[in-house]
Amino acid sequence: MSQLLAPPADFTGLSALLNHPAPIVLHQRRWHGPLVALVLAAVLLPTVANEYWLSAILVPFLILSLSGLGLNLLTGYTGQTSVGSAGFMAVGAFATYALLVRVPVLPLPVSILLGGLIAAAVGLLFGVPSGRIKGFYLMVTSLAAQFFLEWVFSKFPWFYNYGSSGTISAPHLEVAGFNLNTPAGKYGLVLVFVLALTWVAVNLVRSQTGRNWMAIRDMDTAAAVVGIPVYRYKLLAFAVSSFYLGIAGALWAFAYLGSASAQSFGITRSFQILFIIIIGGMGSIAGNFVGAAFISLLPLLLDTLGQNLFAGHVDAGLLQNIQKVIFGGLIIWFLIKEPDGLVRILSSIKERLALWPLRL
């Protein structure tokens, strides 16, 4: 009788398993690849690369990556379309210049950060309409902000210290007694800001704030139903995005161009940043660097092909038009076939290689 009442062996084993579950093993993510890349960027590249690569390739690549990161936080993670990125870059550049000229006791990094905060305040102001409008109409509002800011910085001489040329020039770049006017010094300055802000962005999108942004991007009505203050987080996204863009604008003016005007931050620059996140991948931190690398290296590739294949018979203007055609075609292709951009394609290639030779 006792044998009939005894539970089957399978259920006995199941009961033992439930009472003594297997320990959960958490595998730590390995960062060997990014760590090696950071070491190469911080130590080896300034010693290996010549001045041309530092000044004309690596510095603009890093700044464009930072600009794409700022726009991606707004568009890729929060779903708020904007084509006024260059306007907020101009705010950061002109604000930093005003602080360096009128408050010379401020260190250079502090002035750049304060310029970014001023850009964040302006972005917060232009983000107010996001509580009422969205989609195409919000994009038009950001376009109006772009033209308005460009007009303000070219119309009022106070912003460029009443100079006759209407431009702002880079002051003496120095931090704690170290001269940063050399190509290696400017590269180091840009690299420190990019690494620090990228680290902040990675932790931000993994936090509750980032999850709320992505919930608003996917469906803002559902996000409001579950208790997320949608309007507040939209404004926060505009402020954080403009902060990143403002710092990128200051670095673009002082570490790359040397001197800049309002036309240096025109609508073409805004579209360039938008192309970076579309080609690289919206909603991806790595996509900003991939897209910026593509934007930075494609002109060099076209110039090299034009000189080697056509022996200089192709006009430079024609090469620029070919570049625009390639950009336009790629954007259409990515929007239709691969909305996640190059970073998704590279991830798929990595997954296939990991299964090779079983699958290709």
Instruction: Say which CATH architecture domain 51-355 belongs to.
Output: Orthogonal Bundle (1.10)
Burial of 22 (0-12, 13-18, 19+ CB in 10 A): exposed
Per-residue pLDDT at 150: 93
CB crowding 236-250: b at 16 or more within 10 Å, else e: bbbbbbbbbbbbbbb
**pTM score, whole prediction:** 0.85
Per-residue pLDDT at 4: 44
Per-residue pLDDT at 26: 38
The whole-number mean pLDDT for each consecutive block of 10 residues of the chain, a chain of 360 residues, reads 47 43 42 56 72 87 94 94 94 94 89 96 93 88 94 90 83 79 88 92 93 92 92 95 96 91 92 91 89 86 72 69 79 80 81 69
Take residue 179 and report the two structure tokens written for it. 């001269």
Helices within the chain (DSSP H only): 2-5, 9-19, 32-39, 45-48, 51-52, 59-75, 85-102, 108-126, 136-155, 183-206, 208-218, 220-225, 230-251, 267-280, 285-309, 316-337, 341-355
In whole angstroms, give the CA distance from residue 148 to residue 139. 14
In whole angstroms, give the CA distance from residue 267 to residue 144. 11
Q: 3-class SS at 169? A: strand
Per-residue pLDDT at 9: 47
Contact 288, 72 (CB under 8 A): yes
DSSP state letter for 157 = G
Per-residue pLDDT at 339: 78
